[in-house]
Chain A
């Protein structure tokens, strides 16, 4: 059986950045396993601009952003296998993958980085009544059909969910000559980035209907229309508010789910909020030597943060391989008062880096609040925020020097004046 120091599962933005960082930290023997026939992951179909403002200080499209990382991976001669689908991983870091060229292969690693990304929440998860005609797509599927395969997808479109992919597709389909009639969002706020609402909806006069959902699907062979209704504060449709929209296409942009089927076999602690594994400040799961980064860990809005997080996972995996650094005693980071979760979920106060970035999302849209950090019950940080929204990931950077020792607890919350 072949063995490698580090195997990275997934050759998207997280996997690429993790591989580069691990190699630069001194690990020679790295292997990336990618199931698609190209590297770059979802960036390949994200042809819109807005990527790389933090990483490269310029605005790139998805394929351009991916190409910069792919070029570096090739320069560093980091080996990768394409068309290689990992079918299982074990706590002993035995990786099994299948590919047309190699067949069924088992490889042993000293450390693993999980970088499998996420996938879209499907129609089946929404319980929308009605028949099952053609013309109902997840937004990302439509994006792939349009941008990679070159299909028009639809002419009269309704979009359910105001996630970023749905917003991007509203603009994309409008540019390609489709009429996007409405974007409906179940929640009273949009799940997408503000800039996408401005650039993708406002620019083209596409209405965004908050607190609305699809209550009926019409059509037998092909979709002929949908019924939209307003929902109350418990997200239940309000009788009498139904409105019919004729359309041949319904796009669903209703959330992304980290793809952790492989992870489950490791029997690590999973977060019920992020749907990803729980990790410490080194982005290590509670299976020693297995690290996670990118959308498989928690769904991000910006690829720049994925690259940054993945670079940290790569560096720490390298330290694990080269110095046999083992996990120390950790302190949990509690999220409450409007903070839904944090990544990492725990921190090793003794062995932590000088500064650790804690990323999190809030539960609702809040105005004029403070993000507060408590350490052993004492407030050590209070950051004023004019606006906080669930669709925009927040972060605080904790410095080792400001944490009280011995550290017993860390709590991150929002507070009003």
Chain B
């Protein structure tokens, strides 16, 4: 049995995951998202990574970015290495792709801030 705290929403349900005959059974969830989260957390934990990259010629020095979807938890630091190595040029709009495939995850890194040209 594994105990988890659901992070699907701010309620933070306390979940218990049981393995029975090769199947996972989840208790303590108050919505279907909890069950999905608990199973994924046991089988393949994923996280959204947020950070900033350097931006040239804009109204600010840093552009905030995030992975478009969750990436495997064990790829977080590989993702950060790539984020630290790059810089972009203004203007950038929210949703613009900064890296098409971050750290071989197949997930894009996208801008989360509108930065106009200075």
Q: Which residues of chain A have a CB within 8 Å of any CB of chain B?
A: 44, 47-49, 53, 59-61, 63-64, 67, 146-150, 175-176, 193-195, 197-199, 203, 301-302, 386-387, 392
Q: How far is the CB of A42 from chain B (nearest CB, A)?
A: 14
Contact B10 A175 (CB under 8 A): no
Contact A150 B10 (CB under 8 A): no
Give every chain B residue within 8 A of A194 (Cβ-Cβ): 5, 7, 12
Bound: A199/B9 CA distance, A: 12
Give every chain A residue within 8 A of B61 (Cβ-Cβ): 148-150
Q: Which of A49, A175, A387 contacts B48 (CB 8 A)?
A: A49
Q: A147-B62, A195-B5 are in contact. Are A203 and B73 (CB under 8 A)?
A: yes
13 CB < 8 A contacts A-B? A53-B10, A63-B64, A63-B113, A64-B112, A147-B52, A149-B61, A176-B51, A193-B12, A194-B5, A195-B7, A198-B4, A301-B10, A392-B10
Bound: A133/B18 CA distance, A: 51
Bound: A392/B12 CA distance, A: 10
Give every chain B residue within 8 A of A148 (Cβ-Cβ): 60-62
Contact B54 A150 (CB under 8 A): yes
Contact A48 B50 (CB under 8 A): yes
Give every chain B residue within 8 A of A53 (Cβ-Cβ): 9-10
Contact B64 A61 (CB under 8 A): yes
Contact B7 A198 (CB under 8 A): yes
Contact B62 A149 (CB under 8 A): yes
Contact A175 B66 (CB under 8 A): no
Within B102-118, the residues touching A (CB, 8 Å) are: 112-114
Bound: A364/B7 CA distance, A: 22
Contact A49 B10 (CB under 8 A): no
Q: How far is the CB of B10 from chain A (nearest CB, A)?
A: 6
Bound: A63/B94 CA distance, A: 9
Contact B112 A61 (CB under 8 A): yes
Contact A67 B49 (CB under 8 A): no
Bound: A269/B48 CA distance, A: 43
Give every chain B residue within 8 A of A44 (Cβ-Cβ): 113
Task: List the 8 closest pairs (A to B, CB-CB), nearest first.
Answer: A194-B12, A47-B64, A195-B7, A63-B113, A61-B112, A150-B62, A198-B5, A150-B61
Q: Which of A150, A197, A302 contacts B5 (CB 8 A)?
A: A197
Q: Which of B4, B12, B50 contacts A61 (CB 8 A)?
A: B50
Contact B51 A195 (CB under 8 A): no
Bound: A386/B54 CA distance, A: 45
Within B1-48, the residues touching A (CB, 8 Å) are: 4-7, 9-10, 12, 14, 47-48
Q: How far is the CB of B24 from chain A (nearest CB, A)?
A: 19
Contact A387 B76 (CB under 8 A): no
Q: How far is the CB of A249 from chain B (nearest CB, A)?
A: 18
Interface centre among A64, A147, A302, A387 (most CB of B within 10 A): A64
Give every chain B residue within 8 A of A64 (Cβ-Cβ): 94, 112-113
B80 is an interface residue with CB less than 8 A from chain A: yes
Bound: A146/B76 CA distance, A: 19
Contact A47 B112 (CB under 8 A): yes
Nearest A residue to B113 via CB reads: A63
Nearest B residue to A65 via CB reads: B112
Give every chain B residue within 8 A of A67 (Cβ-Cβ): 94, 113-114
Nearest A residue to B55 via CB reads: A150
Contact B76 A175 (CB under 8 A): yes
Instruction: Name 5 extra pairs, CB < 8 A, besides A48-B50, A386-B14.
Output: A47-B112, A150-B54, A175-B76, A175-B77, A199-B7
Give every chain B residue within 8 A of A146 (Cβ-Cβ): 52
Nearest A residue to B4 via CB reads: A198
Nearest A residue to B61 via CB reads: A150
Nearest B residue to A168 via CB reads: B50
Contact A47 B48 (CB under 8 A): no
Give every chain A residue within 8 A of B7 (Cβ-Cβ): 194-195, 198-199
Q: How far is the CB of A113 from chain B (nearest CB, A)?
A: 25
Give every chain B residue within 8 A of A392 (Cβ-Cβ): 10, 12
Q: How far is the CB of B79 from chain A (nearest CB, A)?
A: 9
Q: A199-B47, A301-B10 are in contact. Are A63 and B62 (CB under 8 A)?
A: no
Bound: A67/B52 CA distance, A: 17
Bound: A198/B41 CA distance, A: 12
Contact B12 A47 (CB under 8 A): no
Contact A195 B66 (CB under 8 A): no
Within B62-103, the residues touching A (CB, 8 Å) are: 62, 64, 66, 73, 76-77, 80, 94
Contact B54 A49 (CB under 8 A): no
Give every chain B residue within 8 A of A48 (Cβ-Cβ): 50
Bound: A61/B49 CA distance, A: 11
Q: How far is the CB of A233 from chain B (nearest CB, A)?
A: 25
Nearest B residue to A59 via CB reads: B48
Contact A195 B12 (CB under 8 A): yes
Contact A203 B10 (CB under 8 A): no
Give every chain A residue within 8 A of B66 (Cβ-Cβ): 47, 49, 61
Interface centre among A63, A197, A198 (most CB of B within 10 A): A63
Bound: A62/B7 CA distance, A: 17
